[in-house]
Amino acid sequence: MRLAAKSPRFALQVFDGERPKTAPARKERYEADPFGELGAAAKVKGLKQRFADRVLVMTTEKCFVNCRHCTRQGIFGKSRIVETDADLERCIGYVKAHPEVRDVLLSGGDILTLPDAKVMKFVKAFAALEQVEVVRVCTRAVCANPLRVTARLARALGRTRKVWVNTQFNCADELTAEAREAAARLVEAGVPVSCQTVLLKGVNDSAEEMLRLFRALTAARIRPYYVFMCDPIPGIDRFRVSLSKARAIERKCAESIGGLALPRFVMDLPGARRKVPICER
């Protein structure tokens, strides 16, 4: 039976760890835009919404690194970003018209590739809305360009009292002295830092590597938040870890470390209304 490309069952086939044998089969199985960010999720120019309480604002298409596992690798260059004041006003208008939105993710691309003035313009625009409780600055700079996280920028973010930084580390070796100092600048300025990790074959696909990472993160006062299965996108089969192996890693981690340091292991299923814990599948 052929399943609709965006159905959760379709996505689960991708997560079962088996690699289709032929190129056409792979093409059918994976999608460049699995979460419809060029389609139904695009609400106004530069703003996407997949879940009721949060929206994602595309601030740029530039990044400090081009991650092989990036969900958006297939849509960079096609996705529309917020370029003008009028675009930003339309995004703000959308949020105001949807009072259930309380969490705004400033992403892209990586917002910290923009100059401070532009970063703060985005941050302040959304932090000023009473309904918005959280403004997430989504950036790999803490890991990939830690000197970009200056004390001055950290203080400006902290002053809003609404900013959380979401970053990504995939192995403990990425927590260099510079990265730890960048995290400390944020935390000491009142900005909580959380980490999303991607489960990658040959990089961190063992309980030992994951525990080393979670311990290094918490020592740096970065909260391990999610571990994601690779998204159903083309070109990352070599990094894909099977669900059964992922569950075994999660179980071993849960038996070895306290809740503060233990993230949720989840998968992002096209069409699902939440991030789905892997233990439920």
- Select the residue interacting with ligand SF4 from 6, 48, 50, 72 (CB under 6 A): 72
279 belongs to the binding site for ligand SF4 (CB under 6 A) = no
48 belongs to the binding site for ligand SF4 (CB under 6 A) = no
- Select the residue interacting with ligand SF4 from 52, 65, 128, 248 (CB under 6 A): 65
| 3-class secondary structure, 128 | coil
Among the residue ranges 45-53, 64-72, 122-130, 178-186, the one whose residues contact ligand SF4 (CB under 6 A): 64-72
Runs of H (alpha helix) within the chain: 8-15, 23-29, 85-96, 116-127, 141-144, 151-159, 177-188, 207-219, 243-254
Q: Give least dist CB 131 to ligand SF4, A.
A: 26
CA 134 to chain centre: 15
* Residue among 57 and 211 whose Cβ is closer to ligand SF4: 57
* Residue among 194 and 256 whose Cβ is closer to ligand SF4: 194
Site string for ligand SF4, 156-175 (x = CB under 6 A): --------------------
Chain residues 132-151 in contact with ligand SF4, contact rule CB under 6 A: 140
Q: Phi-psi category of 270—alpha, beta or left, where left has phi over 0 and alpha has psi -120 to 50?
A: beta
Q: Which amino acid is at 85?
A: D
Please list the residues that pair with 193 across neighbouring strands.
Answer: 165
33 belongs to the binding site for ligand SF4 (CB under 6 A) = no
* Residue 93 CB neighbours (<10 A): 12
Cα separations in angstroms, 172 against 100, 164, 208: 37, 22, 11
Chain residues 83-112 in contact with ligand SF4, contact rule CB under 6 A: 109-110
Positions in the binding site for ligand SF4 (CB under 6 A): 63, 65-67, 70, 72, 109-110, 140
